[in-house]
Structures are given as C-alpha cells and as structure tokens.
Amino acid sequence: MTTTTAPAPGVPIFGGDPFSMEALADPIGFDGRVRELGPVVFIEKYGYYALTQWAEVQKALRDWRNISSSDRPFYEPNPYRPTVLVLEDPPSHTQNKGAAMAVLSGDNLVRFEEYFAAEAERMVGEILADGPADVDAFHDLAVRYVLKVFPDMLGLPEEGRDLLLKFGDGVFNVFGPETDFQKEKLAGAAKAQDWVERNTFREVQKPGSVGAQLYELADQGKLPEEDARQILKSIFGAGFDTTTASIASMIRALADHPAEWEKLKANPDLVEIAWEEAIRYYPASRFGGRWAKNDVDIAGVTIPAGSKILAMWLGTGRDPRKYTDPDLFQVDRDLKGGHLSFGFGIHTCAGNLVARLEARTLLRELVKRVETIELVGEPRQAKNYQAFGHEYVPVRLTPKA
C-alpha cells in the first residue's frame, strides 16, 4: 500500500501493528509507547513513517509544500473519503477552506451561539427536572445535543439524523488496513452513505441553511458547484462523530477528576480553558495523513520523497516534552502554545469554531446547573482506526440546590 520499501538510515523501526485490536483498545498507551521511540518512527508492517512528538509534528504541518495532504497511507478510492479540504493543497485548498470558513464562522457563528445556548438550557433543564439523573454522557448528552443543534443549522430533516454518526464512523475507519473490522464498519455505514448523498444536493437545502449558503457561493463563482456539495459532505463526515465523542470524553474527564469539577464550578471563567484541556487530554482524532513530495529532514531523519506519513495527534497530546504532567487533567492548565488536536497550519479543522462553541456552550450550562458529576459504571471507549472517543459514559448528574 506504499511506495516506501526500506526505512531511512537512523530511524527507529517499530515492528508492531498500530491497527491491531490491542492498539485500538488502548490507543493512548500504544501511541505513547511508539512516541517514546523517537520523533520519527518507521512502521515496518505498513511501510509508512509516524511523526510522534509535538514539536516535530507542528513543524511538519507548517511545511505543506514538502509534506503534502494530497496523499497518505491507506489512500485507495472509497466513497467515504472526502475529495476536498482534507486531501487538498493550495490553491484549491485555499478556495475551498475559505468557503467552509465563510459558512462556519462570522455571522453564522453568532447565530449558532444563541441557538446552541437556548437548546443546552432546555436539554439540561429537562434532564434535571426530577432531581439527580443517571445518564449516558455519550447518548443522552453529547449525541442528543449535537444531533439537534448542528443539523438544525444545516437544515437537515429530523428523520435519519442518527445516520450521521454511522457515516462519521465509516469516514474515520477508512484510513487503515483492509480487515474484517474495517469491512464491518463500512458495511454499517452503507445506509448512512445513501442518506448523506441525498441530503447534500442543492434542491434539498433549506433557505438560509449552511448548505444553501455554500451553493450561493458557487452561484457567485467562488467555487465549483460540485465542490460546494463535497464541502457539505465533509461537514457531515467530520462534524458529528468526533464532536459527540469529544464531548462525552470531556464529561468522563470531569467525572474522573471531581476536584477539577469543583475548581470549575468555583471559577466558571475557566470553561474555555477546561474544554481545550479536555481536547488535549482526549483528542478526538488519533492521526492525520500526509506524504513527502520531496526529501524532507525531520529531527535528523531524512524521509525520502514519495514516503507516506501519519502525524500522530493522540500521542502529541500527552507528550512530556511539551506538557508538564501530561497525564493529569487540569482545568486551569497553562496551554500557551495550544495543542494539535484540531490539526495545525492551513489544515486546521475548518469546523473547529463550531465544535468549540458546541462543547463550551453545553459545559457552561452544566457548570451553572450541576453540583456533582459522578461515574456510576465503567466507561467504554469506542474502537476506531482514526477517531478517538467514548461510546458509553454512565454518570449521575446531581443538580444544584
């Protein structure tokens, strides 16, 4: 699956399988062990290079001229793969990223914020109406909230919204080896693929919706019509699965660290920092893909032109070279320099402003209304090649008196 046949001189070689069920059961631990082999590691089984440490990943993401997004490991044609944004370099990427940002920021974001806040208040109020409530933070908080507020802004029909999670699951399991696990995931997303395709055409977009605005940009000559449709499809693929998973992971982190919840309640101004710490601690995406257009030197290793590369976001979130006590969750952590959980450089996630808004808005409402968040069972992490998150987080929410 790759043009690389031998590792570069001096590079550490890893003989394990990052896509084994063992690795998927504990990707934070697994990727952390690979990270400590060195900043650049050759993955022998599949013939690609892994960039594992924070500084080197950030440096590589800046260098889009030599380290391109237009190819990557496990890149074979597949209907779940987006054809714009993620797999593009300038100049087409500049045009399409500009269009995506135009509809996912600015005035739209102001409009989103008002609606998101009202829905968070309504939903949390309903959950706590009868006192302490035992809920699954994934389905009963994250999914219920995100599959309401963002599809409303996209102008999607109520029926079939649950398929967006299956579609996202397919999208984030495409970039990996062809196994029974992958086949099962993609088969489960087949019905969702059809729903997504039908809901990205121009004629079904509601006036004023994000989809309608994208097609208006096409009418203005700012991008081809098919690119408008593909951008909308990319939003469907990346705007739900990782957001719901990361919100559930945030709730799990707060439940696991009651002293941090007390700190947050005492100082609600920490909500923004607390969310950024949560997405550092539990990044929603394990890796991103690239390829070397030219020979490129990273940390003293010359990666040959044509080599496939994975930048390991999950491992960078716990890199001790970047963060003091990286395995501690701290809602007041000094995050100067940020994190790489939304990518970096020209390929920073186009929907990061919406994801941040959704999570912060819900967290503010919880801080306002909830006295304690306690685990009442064992959380269950989802298994996925590329996405990271929890599919089950049983918690008890006790309202403030």
pLDDT of residue 365 exceeding 90: yes
Range in 6-20, 228-242, 307-321 with the lowest mean pLDDT? 228-242
The pLDDT assigned to 83 comes to 67
- Classified as helix, coil or strand, 395 is strand
Pairwise CA distance, residues 365 & 297, whole Å: 47
Q: What's the average model confidence in pLDDT over 291-302? A: 96
The pLDDT assigned to 82 comes to 64
Containing 99, the helix (H) or strand (E) segment is helix 92-103
Given a contact cutoff of 8 angstroms between Cβ atoms, the answer to whether 258 and 42 are in contact is: no
Residue 387 per-residue DSSP state: B
Pairwise CA distance, residues 73 & 2, whole Å: 7
Given a contact cutoff of 8 angstroms between Cβ atoms, the answer to whether 255 and 245 are in contact is: no
Pairwise CA distance, residues 227 & 233, whole Å: 10
The pLDDT assigned to 195 comes to 92
Q: For 143-188, how does the pLDDT look when each residue is reduced to its tens digit (9 = 90+)?
A: 999 999 999 988 899 999 999 988 888 889 999 999 999 999 999 8
Could you tell me whether strands 13-14 and 40-43 are parallel, antiparallel, or unpaired per DSSP bridges?
Answer: parallel
Given a contact cutoff of 8 angstroms between Cβ atoms, the answer to whether 276 and 266 are in contact is: no
Average pLDDT, the chain: 93
More confident residue, 70 or 4: 70
Residue 341 per-residue DSSP state: B
The pLDDT assigned to 2 comes to 44
What is the token pair recorded at 201?
């055409």
Q: What's the average model confidence in pLDDT over 134-141? A: 98
pLDDT of residue 1 exceeding 50: no
- Classified as helix, coil or strand, 248 is helix
Among residues 43, 1, 16, the alpha carbon closest in space to that of 303 is found at 43
Among residues 283, 272, 353, the alpha carbon closest in space to that of 97 is found at 353
Strand segments, DSSP code E, in 105-196 are 133-136
The pLDDT assigned to 4 comes to 52
Confidence of residue 277 (pLDDT cuts 50, 70, 90): very high
- Main-chain dihedrals φ then ψ at residue 395, nearest 5 degrees: -135, 155
Q: Which fold has domain 13-399?
A: Cytochrome p450 (1.10.630)
Pairwise CA distance, residues 298 & 59, whole Å: 8
Pairwise CA distance, residues 215 & 228, whole Å: 6
The pLDDT assigned to 84 comes to 72
Contacts of 49-52 with C-beta under 8 Å, sequence gap 24+, read 49/4, 49/8, 49/11, 49/303, 49/307, 49/308, 49/309, 49/310, 50/14, 50/18, 50/287, 50/309, 50/310, 50/312, 51/298, 51/309, 51/310, 51/311, 51/312, 52/312, 52/315, 52/316
- In order of 8, 248, 288, the CA distances from 66 in angstroms are 17, 36, 16
Confidence of residue 5 (pLDDT cuts 50, 70, 90): low
Residue-range domain boundaries for the chain: 13-399
Backbone region of residue 261 per phi and psi (left: phi > 0; alpha: psi in -120 to 50; beta: other values): alpha
Q: What's the average model confidence in pLDDT over 77-88? A: 74
Q: For 224-267, how does the pLDDT look when each residue is reduced to its tens digit (9 = 90+)?
A: 999 999 899 888 877 888 899 999 999 999 999 999 999 999 99
> Percent of the chain, pLDDT > 90?
76
Given a contact cutoff of 8 angstroms between Cβ atoms, the answer to whether 4 and 307 are in contact is: yes
The pLDDT assigned to 6 comes to 82
